[in-house]
Structure 1
């Protein structure tokens, strides 16, 4: 068996600093922060599912997804060549991306910041879930264009 986390870092649900992804956090952070690739000008943010039906607290049900209605929901920043630049896993009510303008605004703001794409002239493509006037204004201030697909 492969064990990639420090068991002393694990906290119970309800405790401050609880992370349901603690067993995968080290690998996920390493993948997200190791980059030897300069993305193309066009990037996109969207959610997708990793299909699974096992029993864990972060399994989501999304009836509008055809290929996987049950699974782990993730938010991704990808470039136009299909390269995934940053992944953020969703864990339901414990998902810690909140913003006064709504979850979509918070997700875009956090992912663009985490993937270091702000203030560099990128062109962000999203679907209508992420389209809000306040988000468009924020991205324009960050020198990022927004297109809705």
Structure 2
């Protein structure tokens, strides 16, 4: 998950599922900032909340605008002398850092998804073998009874 857009803390959003049936939302996924008030600081507890589909849409829009910003920054950066800190070069570096953490998270999710798919395949294979054994035993039983 990305960090909360509503608060200055570095805490990432938590991915949760509703467990109550209020407004017919049972089982609906959402993201929420769970950063607490820190002692000695004036920042209050964050109450940011987004349904997962809205969160995904926002992230996709931010990604598209970030890619556009990065390509524009690359053109500006490439036209100046090498090594110059052109206007907005800090934004480009910041976007790269966010992309790196997002990419690492996506790789982790992809790895978990591959494991899940493998387990599903193994489960389906075992179910298929079980049903073939049941059919073979039924055939043997019928052959024994018909004698």
State the TM-score, normalized to the length of structure 1. Answer: 0.26
Instruction: Pick the structure with more helix per residue.
Output: 2
State the TM-score, normalized to the length of structure 2. Answer: 0.26
Q: Which has the higher contact order (CA 8 A, sep 6+)?
A: 1
